A and B are shown apart, each in its own frame.
Chain A
Amino acid sequence: GAVVSQHPSRVICKSGTSVKIECRSLDFQATTMFWYRQFPKKSLMLMATSNEGSKATYEQGVEKDKFLINHASLTLSTLTVTSAHPEDSSFYICSAREGRTEAFFGQGTRLTVV
């Protein structure tokens, strides 16, 4: 299957700092990338949908100035958590689709803000 690479897999940062997470589609062109967060024992919650070359569409309740998404190319999208706080600690996962195919997921990033 297609490969989506997410980096870093784990990050610990101090409160108030920013963290950037990268999501790359390695063998296909991702027309759409999605960013999710998942709390323990909960399902994935969509944060935003990112289309290459255009602004991301954020879900209701997700602060676009806090979670900056950039999808500058068909193979790379980034999520920057700005001014992170302990409540931002979560598992963040990206997924990518090419056209109408199924989505493939990155390995996820476990963010801990201390």
Chain B
Amino acid sequence: RKEVEQDPGPFNVPEGATVAFNCTYSNSASQSFFWYRQDCRKEPKLLMSVYSSGNEDGRFTAQLNRASQYISLLIRDSKLSDSATYLCVVAGGTSYGKLTFGQGTILTVHP
């Protein structure tokens, strides 16, 4: 089983749509969770951290369920500029904990 697994995608949605990405992780000791986005041939950039209480940043909502070891990202009112690969990232609890990436989910938003 992969340490971090994401929906395989790709997702092709029209502008204005709501799209949800799911992610599961296998290491129950993981303590930090993130969503990154990566544009084609560019480095990943932090989209948002994920907290147990859930967090929202504009059109983006992230949630974490520790019991199910499940992370989600919801994007509302999709924009063309949201087209990218979304990476679910899990990290250990120590300052030396490595980041483990999911395989990424490709999102394409079309007019």
Contacts of A91 in B (CB 8 A): 41
Shortest CB-to-CB span from B9 to chain A, Å, is 12
Give residues in B with beta carbon < 8 Å to A: 31-32, 34, 41-46, 49, 87, 91, 93-104
Contacts of A102 in B (CB 8 A): 32, 34, 46, 49
Task: Please report which residues of chain A, range 20-48, place their CB below 8 angstroms from some CB of chain B when the two chains form the complex.
Answer: 31-32, 34, 36, 42-44, 46
What is the CA–CA distance of A114 and B46 in the complex, to the nearest angstrom? Answer: 33
Which chain A residue lies CB-closest to B32? A100
What is the CA–CA distance of A104 and B46 in the complex, to the nearest angstrom? Answer: 7
Contacts of A67 in B (CB 8 A): none
* Residue count of chain A within 8 Å CB distance of chain B: 26
Which chain A residue lies CB-closest to B94? A100
What would be 11 A-B contacts, judged by CB atoms less than 8 Å apart?
A36-B101, A43-B102, A43-B104, A44-B87, A44-B101, A46-B99, A91-B41, A100-B32, A103-B91, A104-B46, A107-B43
**B95 to A34, Cβ gap below 8 A?**
no
Shortest CB-to-CB span from B46 to chain A, Å, is 5
What is the CA–CA distance of A6 and B94 in the complex, to the nearest angstrom? Answer: 25
Shortest CB-to-CB span from A38 to chain B, Å, is 9
What is the CA–CA distance of A107 and B46 in the complex, to the nearest angstrom? Answer: 13
**A95 to B99, Cβ gap below 8 A?**
yes
**B45 to A49, Cβ gap below 8 A?**
no
**A103 to B99, Cβ gap below 8 A?**
yes
**A44 to B44, Cβ gap below 8 A?**
yes
What is the CA–CA distance of A43 and B34 in the complex, to the nearest angstrom? Answer: 15
What is the CA–CA distance of A32 and B32 in the complex, to the nearest angstrom? Answer: 15
Q: A43-B87, A43-B102, A43-B104 are in contact. Are A105 and B44 (CB under 8 A)?
A: yes
What is the CA–CA distance of A53 and B103 in the complex, to the nearest angstrom? Answer: 31
Which chain B residue lies CB-closest to A48? B98
**A43 to B103, Cβ gap below 8 A?**
yes
What is the CA–CA distance of A104 and B99 in the complex, to the nearest angstrom? Answer: 11
**A32 to B42, Cβ gap below 8 A?**
no
What is the CA–CA distance of A51 and B98 in the complex, to the nearest angstrom? Answer: 11
